[in-house]
Amino acid sequence: MANKLNLNPTRQELLKLKVKLKTAKRGHKLLKDKRDGLMKHFMSIIREAKDLREKVEQLLGQGFFSFVFFSAKMRRSVIEEALLVPSQKVSLVATTKNVMGTEVPQFSYRQEGNFLCYDLATTSTSLDRSLQVFSKTLQDMVKLAEVEHSAKLLASEIEKTRRRVNALEYVFIPNIEETIKYITAKLNEQERGALVTLMKVKDIIAQE
């Protein structure tokens, strides 16, 4: 009885509670389905995210490594001059997809032009090498951004939904059920009391 709601034991409250219980049960089922759906989607992308990340980390590490070598070898003014005007363009079109009420991004990405826009005679070959790596990795990086960010958004949504499911399942619904039981018992008790009084009154009248 510790968890029952603080309500007057009347028939009206009982009816209200019954409606509430029905809604809560329905909501619980729906939220459970939502959680399962989100989880399914999450599972399908999280492994992809992990593999992509490992790949990008390996490639990019090399790329940065040779780029740092390049920038250490060259004078800053030369670097700036060489890389001043980018000749390659990237276009990224982003849309959002709705997964069980959660918006997740979807990128489609295109590279245009060539990154070779600098003087090959004055720059070191480390630059070519690192830019090649960067250019190649960029596709994966964009994909990684999409997948990992989706996973992140889904994870927070899953957590929220799970909390709601648990709150309904272990707190809200039991509380209502308990209260319904309490009110029913109380009403029955009242009825019995009224009956006994009635019988007593009838007895007294019959004796007279």
Partner 1 sequence: MNQGREYKIAIIGSRDAIFGFKTLGIDAIDVDSEEKAKEEVKRIYDSGSYASIFITENWVDKIKTFLDELPPRALPAIVAVPSQHGSTGAGLRGIRKIVEQAVGSDILGEK
Interacting residues with partner 1 (CB under 8 A): 39, 42, 46-47, 49-50, 53-54, 56-58, 60-61, 63-65, 67-68, 70-72, 79, 83, 86-98, 103-108, 111-113, 115, 117-118, 127, 130-131, 134-135, 138, 141-142, 144-146, 148-149, 151-156, 158-159
Q: Look up tokens 């510790």; give the residue.
A: 2
Helix, strand, or coil (residue 8): coil
Nearer to partner 1, 13 or 81 (CB): 81
Nearer to partner 1, 160 or 186 (CB): 160
Nearer to partner 1, 18 or 50 (CB): 50
Is residue 161 within 8 A of residue 34, CB to CB? The reply is: yes
State the nearest-atom distance from the C-beta of 82 to partner 1, in Å: 8
State the nearest-atom distance from the C-beta of 18 to partner 1, in Å: 34
State the nearest-atom distance from the C-beta of 174 to partner 1, in Å: 22
Tokens of 198: 């009635």
Encoded amino acid at 92, one letter: L
Rounded to an integer, what is the distance from CA 132 to the centroid of its chain?
36
Nearer to partner 1, 5 or 117 (CB): 117
Is residue 175 within 8 A of residue 3, CB to CB? The reply is: yes
State the nearest-atom distance from the C-beta of 173 to partner 1, in Å: 22
Nearest Cα residue to 40 out of 148, 158, 163: 158
Nearest Cα residue to 147 out of 118, 113, 105, 111: 105
